[in-house]
Chain A
Amino acid sequence: MPENQNFNPEDGLPISGARAGKVSKYKIEHFVAPLDETPLQAVDSVKETGKPLSMWAEAWRSLRKQPLFIISAILILAIIVVAAFPQLFSSQDPAYCALENSNEPGRVGHIMGFNLQGCDIYSRVIYGTRASLLVGIFTTLIVVVVGGTLGALAGFYGGWIDAVLARLGDIFFALPLVLGAIIVMQLPAFRDNRSVWTVIVTLAIFGWPQLARITRGAVIEAREADFVKASRALGLSKFNSLLKHVIPNSLAPIIVVATVNLGVYIVAEATLSFLGVGLPSNVMSWGNDIASAQTQLRNNPMMLMWPALFLSVTVLSFIMLGDAVRDALDPKARKGA
């Protein structure tokens, strides 16, 4: 049995009783596993087969399998087609209204019935898709561009840019969306020129702070990464490292939030139209139809329900898509981390 060994102090190494090794008072056998059962493998070998998989490719792979994604993607595609080519879905001219059809229930050729003015509800719903979708898409685009840029600059450069942005965002957060939108729509410039664009701009004014905040957070996290330092050490300028490394790695949360918000903006437009400060009444939209159907709720609830249903399904599919994308991009679910 080996004995405890002490070392010569001249070696310069300290003696520590506890660290001179321990000997058991029991007999311990020395077991070795048979080599054929426990073969040595090469250290750290590289996988040479299989297709290369970037992070996006991996996310796409897991996304494809999710039922939430499949359903929402199909719905969204359908909605886009309806908005772009409404004439494919309804031969009836939505502006044609005959008072004798007022509040008639559904029948062959007009499955959703008629509204108070005698207009065919179905064709109004079909043609109304475009306005709502446009509001959602363009508001999201403006919010992403404005909010994303400001948030990225604030997060990356910090300092006074960040402080100013934080206070500015706080100011806008202080006014709830609906309230703020009502006030803005009172401005003569807006009130007298009501159109799809006034609604879009109004929503964007109150929508950008949220995205700016999220972008800022994502950028702050990404800029600390070693690969950003490495790219600076390679000679990349600070601004270029922002463009080429930080921003691409900050996109995930932006995409998720933007997708969900698209749906939220469509709801917001409907709310504004309901309050009378949304789209002008001559523009066909779900929001307007719902608003004008209020009074008829007791007599003809379907006049409100049909556009409400289409609205809800559209919004739901965008929000579901956002959820599905978030799950697919979740870093904890990603391999290799």
Chain B
Amino acid sequence: MLSFMLKRIAQLIPVFIGATLLVYFLVFATPGDPIAALSGGKPMPEATKAALAAQYNLDKPFWVQYGLYLKNLVTFDLGTSFSGQEVSDLLGRAFPVTARLAILALLFEGIFGIIFGVLAGMRKGKWFDSTVLIASLIVIAVPTFVLGFVLQLVVGVKLEWAKPTVSGAATWGELILPALVLGLVSLAYVIRLTRTSVIENKSADYVRTATAKGLSRNRVVTVHILRNSLIPVVTFLGADLGSLMGGAIVTEGIFNVPGVGHLLYSAIQKGETPTVVAVVGVLVIVFVVANLIVDLLYALLDPRIRYA
């Protein structure tokens, strides 16, 4: 087990380096004037340019710059944005908000996804199954932002069941509607994955043997079919946490949630590339950690993996 985990960590280190390198390279080392990229194309006096160059170590070779960037990243020295604020401050305020949003979305997609997926899988071919399948297809087909707008309009404005936009405090309650929107597409995937898994497992030989032992139908479904079917689903959910955090940009935009996505988006629009690179770096760390947890979960759930 331990060797498995160590091997996985060893595999993820190049991923971490690769991803951060890619982003860093994309942003800083592209052809053209890095200072111009830094300033987003706005004209700048020479003195400012020189100061910037020194501050961001642009006078040093690329690899040194990258190395410094990595060092700063892991010590959480994320630099300063153009507006003068500490990036770590900005992130410190935005990160918990997005985390709350992502967790709510995960709960939503996990609970409803599994329930509907199991019901659909056990009733394969019947009307419930067909309905669920079509509904999940529709959810995937309609762009998130459209769904977001529609729900915002209907639930927030017309029906007034929830606030259409989120305040600066972004409490749990306020985040429910955005979380719903954020988790909707993943919900569709979870339903389909659970359904497929259940269908595959319910006709497995060991399920027949379990029935032959005289176990009640309920026990066969929960202890055998469900337990085995949930393995791929749980690992998907774990991996989704990472992508929910990074991909919440659209949802945060619609509902005005002051989270990481919002921070990132406005930084990109304003051309504040140091902020972008720092925040993306943190997101990559989150992704890597989430992946490790998922692998751990998978090994816990499936004993065959532990000895591989």
Contacts and interface: CB of A to CB of B under 8 A. Distances in A.
A283 to B, nearest CB: 18
Interface residues of A, number: 41
A290 B145 contact: yes
A301 B138 CA distance: 20
B249 to A, nearest CB: 6
B23 A175 contact: yes
Nearest to B13: A167
Contact of B268 (A182, A188, A313): A182
Contacts of A271: 143-145, 250
Interface centre among A171, A184, A298 (most CB of B within 10 A): A171
Contacts of A254: none
Taking residues whose C-beta sits less than 8 angstroms from the other chain, chain B's interface range is 35 or more
Nearest to A183: B26
Interface centre among A166, A174, A177, A187 (most CB of B within 10 A): A174
Contacts of A171: 15, 18-19, 22
A186 B268 contact: yes
Contacts of B246: 175-176, 179
B140 A308 contact: no
Nearest to A268: B143
Interface stretch (A147-155, A210-218, A314-322): A314-322
A270 B148 CA distance: 14
Contacts of A186: 26-27, 268, 273, 276
A77 B16 CA distance: 44
Q: Is the interface of A mostly helix, strand, loop or mixed?
A: helix
B65 interface: no
B280 interface: yes
Contacts of A312: 138, 141-143, 146
A304 B283 CA distance: 32
Interface string B249-282: 1100100000000001100110001001000100
Contacts of B19: 171, 174-175
Nearest to B283: A179
A177 B247 contact: yes
Interface of A: 166-168, 170-171, 174-179, 182-184, 186-189, 263-264, 267, 270-271, 274-276, 290, 294, 297-298, 301, 304, 308, 311-313, 315-316, 319-320, 323
6 contacts: A174-B15, A179-B247, A184-B26, A270-B145, A276-B269, A304-B149
